[in-house]
Chain A
Amino acid sequence: MKITVAQESGAALIQISGSVDSLTSDEAQTFFDEQIKNNQVRLVVDLSQVDYLSSAGLRVLLSALKSARQRGGDLYFAGLQDNVRKVLDLAGFTSIFKIFPTVEEAVGAFAI
Protein backbone atom coordinates (compact mmCIF):
# COMPACT_ATOMS: atom_id res chain seq x y z
CA MET A 1 0.00 0.00 0.00
CA LYS A 2 1.11 3.52 -0.78
CA ILE A 3 -0.56 6.51 0.89
CA THR A 4 0.18 10.17 0.28
CA VAL A 5 -1.41 13.54 1.04
CA ALA A 6 -1.49 16.82 -0.83
CA GLN A 7 -3.40 20.04 -0.31
CA GLU A 8 -6.12 20.61 -2.86
CA SER A 9 -8.25 23.75 -2.62
CA GLY A 10 -8.47 23.70 1.16
CA ALA A 11 -8.95 19.95 1.47
CA ALA A 12 -6.40 17.25 2.22
CA LEU A 13 -6.36 14.91 -0.75
CA ILE A 14 -5.28 11.49 0.45
CA GLN A 15 -4.36 9.09 -2.32
CA ILE A 16 -4.12 5.41 -1.52
CA SER A 17 -3.00 2.68 -3.86
CA GLY A 18 -2.95 -1.08 -3.33
CA SER A 19 -4.74 -2.91 -0.53
CA VAL A 20 -6.07 -1.58 2.76
CA ASP A 21 -6.26 -4.75 4.83
CA SER A 22 -4.93 -6.42 7.99
CA LEU A 23 -1.39 -6.14 6.66
CA THR A 24 -1.52 -2.41 5.94
CA SER A 25 -4.24 -1.01 8.22
CA ASP A 26 -1.86 0.00 11.04
CA GLU A 27 0.09 2.17 8.61
CA ALA A 28 -3.12 3.64 7.22
CA GLN A 29 -4.45 4.35 10.73
CA THR A 30 -1.26 6.12 11.71
CA PHE A 31 -1.42 8.21 8.55
CA PHE A 32 -5.02 9.31 9.13
CA ASP A 33 -4.32 10.01 12.82
CA GLU A 34 -1.47 12.29 11.73
CA GLN A 35 -3.74 14.25 9.39
CA ILE A 36 -6.33 14.77 12.12
CA LYS A 37 -3.60 15.74 14.58
CA ASN A 38 -2.45 18.37 12.05
CA ASN A 39 -6.01 19.76 11.95
CA GLN A 40 -6.64 18.35 8.51
CA VAL A 41 -10.32 17.50 8.89
CA ARG A 42 -11.60 18.13 5.34
CA LEU A 43 -10.42 14.89 3.84
CA VAL A 44 -10.86 13.60 0.31
CA VAL A 45 -9.78 9.97 0.01
CA ASP A 46 -9.01 8.92 -3.55
CA LEU A 47 -9.67 5.19 -3.67
CA SER A 48 -9.41 4.82 -7.44
CA GLN A 49 -6.15 2.89 -7.07
CA VAL A 50 -7.35 0.70 -4.19
CA ASP A 51 -8.29 -2.75 -5.43
CA TYR A 52 -8.86 -4.47 -2.11
CA LEU A 53 -10.46 -3.42 1.17
CA SER A 54 -11.11 -5.73 4.14
CA SER A 55 -12.72 -5.12 7.52
CA ALA A 56 -9.42 -3.82 8.88
CA GLY A 57 -9.51 -1.12 6.22
CA LEU A 58 -13.15 -0.39 6.95
CA ARG A 59 -12.27 0.22 10.60
CA VAL A 60 -9.60 2.74 9.67
CA LEU A 61 -11.92 4.64 7.33
CA LEU A 62 -14.82 4.75 9.79
CA SER A 63 -12.51 5.85 12.56
CA ALA A 64 -11.17 8.65 10.33
CA LEU A 65 -14.70 9.71 9.37
CA LYS A 66 -15.70 9.99 13.01
CA SER A 67 -12.58 11.94 13.93
CA ALA A 68 -13.09 14.36 11.03
CA ARG A 69 -16.80 14.98 11.66
CA GLN A 70 -16.33 15.34 15.42
CA ARG A 71 -13.96 18.21 14.61
CA GLY A 72 -16.35 19.93 12.21
CA GLY A 73 -14.93 18.37 9.05
CA ASP A 74 -15.81 15.40 6.89
CA LEU A 75 -14.31 12.62 4.81
CA TYR A 76 -15.36 12.04 1.21
CA PHE A 77 -14.52 9.11 -1.02
CA ALA A 78 -13.67 9.46 -4.68
CA GLY A 79 -13.28 6.87 -7.42
CA LEU A 80 -14.36 3.49 -6.10
CA GLN A 81 -13.46 0.29 -7.91
CA ASP A 82 -16.36 -2.17 -8.21
CA ASN A 83 -15.23 -4.70 -5.62
CA VAL A 84 -14.35 -1.95 -3.12
CA ARG A 85 -17.76 -0.37 -3.61
CA LYS A 86 -19.30 -3.78 -3.01
CA VAL A 87 -17.48 -4.18 0.31
CA LEU A 88 -18.46 -0.67 1.39
CA ASP A 89 -22.04 -1.42 0.44
CA LEU A 90 -22.12 -4.72 2.33
CA ALA A 91 -20.71 -2.96 5.37
CA GLY A 92 -23.45 -0.33 5.20
CA PHE A 93 -20.88 2.40 4.66
CA THR A 94 -22.39 3.80 1.49
CA SER A 95 -25.19 5.26 3.60
CA ILE A 96 -22.88 7.17 5.96
CA PHE A 97 -20.03 8.24 3.66
CA LYS A 98 -20.36 10.73 0.81
CA ILE A 99 -19.01 9.19 -2.36
CA PHE A 100 -18.07 11.05 -5.54
CA PRO A 101 -17.08 9.69 -8.95
CA THR A 102 -13.99 11.91 -9.18
CA VAL A 103 -11.53 13.69 -6.95
CA GLU A 104 -12.49 17.01 -8.54
CA GLU A 105 -16.12 16.62 -7.55
CA ALA A 106 -15.21 15.57 -4.02
CA VAL A 107 -12.83 18.51 -3.54
CA GLY A 108 -15.41 20.82 -5.08
CA ALA A 109 -18.03 19.64 -2.60
CA PHE A 110 -15.92 20.98 0.26
CA ALA A 111 -15.81 24.37 -1.43
CA ILE A 112 -19.60 24.72 -1.51
Chain B
Amino acid sequence: MARSNKPIVWSLFAGGGTLAAFLTPVLIIITGLAVPLGFMSGDVLSYERVLAVVQNPVGKLVLFGVIFLQVWHAAHRLRITAHDVGIHADTAVMLVCYGLAALGTVATVFALLSL
Protein backbone atom coordinates (compact mmCIF):
# COMPACT_ATOMS: atom_id res chain seq x y z
CA MET B 1 0.00 0.00 0.00
CA ALA B 2 1.24 3.48 -0.79
CA ARG B 3 2.45 5.40 2.20
CA SER B 4 0.60 8.58 2.96
CA ASN B 5 0.88 11.30 5.57
CA LYS B 6 -2.89 11.69 5.54
CA PRO B 7 -3.65 9.79 8.77
CA ILE B 8 -1.19 12.01 10.68
CA VAL B 9 -2.51 15.36 9.51
CA TRP B 10 -6.08 14.12 9.65
CA SER B 11 -5.76 12.93 13.25
CA LEU B 12 -4.16 16.25 14.23
CA PHE B 13 -7.02 18.06 12.47
CA ALA B 14 -9.71 15.97 14.16
CA GLY B 15 -8.03 15.94 17.57
CA GLY B 16 -7.32 19.65 17.40
CA GLY B 17 -10.83 20.42 16.18
CA THR B 18 -12.36 18.50 19.06
CA LEU B 19 -10.07 20.12 21.60
CA ALA B 20 -10.70 23.58 20.13
CA ALA B 21 -14.46 22.97 20.20
CA PHE B 22 -14.38 22.17 23.92
CA LEU B 23 -11.66 24.53 25.16
CA THR B 24 -10.97 27.49 22.87
CA PRO B 25 -14.07 29.57 23.72
CA VAL B 26 -13.50 29.38 27.48
CA LEU B 27 -9.75 29.95 27.01
CA ILE B 28 -10.43 33.13 25.00
CA ILE B 29 -12.71 34.32 27.80
CA ILE B 30 -10.11 33.56 30.48
CA THR B 31 -6.99 34.93 28.77
CA GLY B 32 -8.56 37.81 26.86
CA LEU B 33 -11.89 39.00 28.17
CA ALA B 34 -12.70 38.04 31.77
CA VAL B 35 -10.27 40.48 33.39
CA PRO B 36 -10.89 43.61 31.28
CA LEU B 37 -14.67 43.02 31.41
CA GLY B 38 -14.50 42.74 35.19
CA PHE B 39 -15.65 39.10 35.52
CA MET B 40 -12.38 38.13 37.19
CA SER B 41 -9.81 39.98 39.26
CA GLY B 42 -6.56 41.05 37.60
CA ASP B 43 -4.66 38.65 39.89
CA VAL B 44 -5.90 35.74 37.77
CA LEU B 45 -3.46 36.65 34.98
CA SER B 46 -0.73 38.17 37.17
CA TYR B 47 2.90 37.48 36.22
CA GLU B 48 3.54 35.45 39.36
CA ARG B 49 0.46 33.26 38.98
CA VAL B 50 0.87 32.53 35.26
CA LEU B 51 4.58 31.88 35.80
CA ALA B 52 3.73 29.35 38.52
CA VAL B 53 1.34 27.56 36.15
CA VAL B 54 3.91 27.46 33.34
CA GLN B 55 6.70 26.29 35.66
CA ASN B 56 4.59 23.35 36.78
CA PRO B 57 5.35 20.29 34.59
CA VAL B 58 1.65 19.45 34.27
CA GLY B 59 0.91 23.06 33.33
CA LYS B 60 3.63 22.94 30.67
CA LEU B 61 2.24 19.73 29.22
CA VAL B 62 -1.35 21.00 29.13
CA LEU B 63 -0.32 24.31 27.53
CA PHE B 64 1.79 22.51 24.96
CA GLY B 65 -1.04 20.10 24.12
CA VAL B 66 -3.59 22.87 23.72
CA ILE B 67 -1.42 25.16 21.57
CA PHE B 68 0.06 22.31 19.52
CA LEU B 69 -3.33 20.83 18.60
CA GLN B 70 -4.92 24.25 17.98
CA VAL B 71 -2.23 25.34 15.51
CA TRP B 72 -2.17 22.04 13.58
CA HIS B 73 -5.95 21.98 13.37
CA ALA B 74 -5.97 25.55 12.06
CA ALA B 75 -3.11 24.87 9.62
CA HIS B 76 -4.79 21.84 8.08
CA ARG B 77 -8.15 23.56 7.69
CA LEU B 78 -6.46 26.62 6.16
CA ARG B 79 -4.67 24.39 3.64
CA ILE B 80 -7.91 22.74 2.56
CA THR B 81 -9.77 26.07 2.42
CA ALA B 82 -7.15 27.68 0.18
CA HIS B 83 -8.44 25.43 -2.59
CA ASP B 84 -11.96 26.82 -2.10
CA VAL B 85 -10.84 30.39 -2.72
CA GLY B 86 -9.03 29.49 -5.92
CA ILE B 87 -5.51 28.82 -4.65
CA HIS B 88 -4.66 25.45 -6.17
CA ALA B 89 -0.89 25.40 -5.58
CA ASP B 90 -1.26 22.82 -2.86
CA THR B 91 2.43 22.14 -2.32
CA ALA B 92 3.16 25.81 -1.67
CA VAL B 93 0.03 26.17 0.45
CA MET B 94 0.98 23.08 2.43
CA LEU B 95 4.49 24.40 3.04
CA VAL B 96 3.17 27.75 4.28
CA CYS B 97 0.40 26.30 6.48
CA TYR B 98 2.33 23.43 8.01
CA GLY B 99 5.45 25.62 8.16
CA LEU B 100 3.60 28.18 10.28
CA ALA B 101 2.26 25.40 12.50
CA ALA B 102 5.75 23.93 12.89
CA LEU B 103 7.11 27.39 13.73
CA GLY B 104 4.41 27.87 16.36
CA THR B 105 5.12 24.43 17.80
CA VAL B 106 8.85 25.09 18.06
CA ALA B 107 8.31 28.55 19.57
CA THR B 108 5.94 27.04 22.14
CA VAL B 109 8.41 24.29 23.08
CA PHE B 110 11.28 26.79 23.45
CA ALA B 111 9.18 29.20 25.51
CA LEU B 112 7.90 26.43 27.79
CA LEU B 113 11.32 24.82 28.29
CA SER B 114 13.02 28.14 29.02
CA LEU B 115 10.61 28.91 31.87
> Do chains A and B stick together as partners?
no
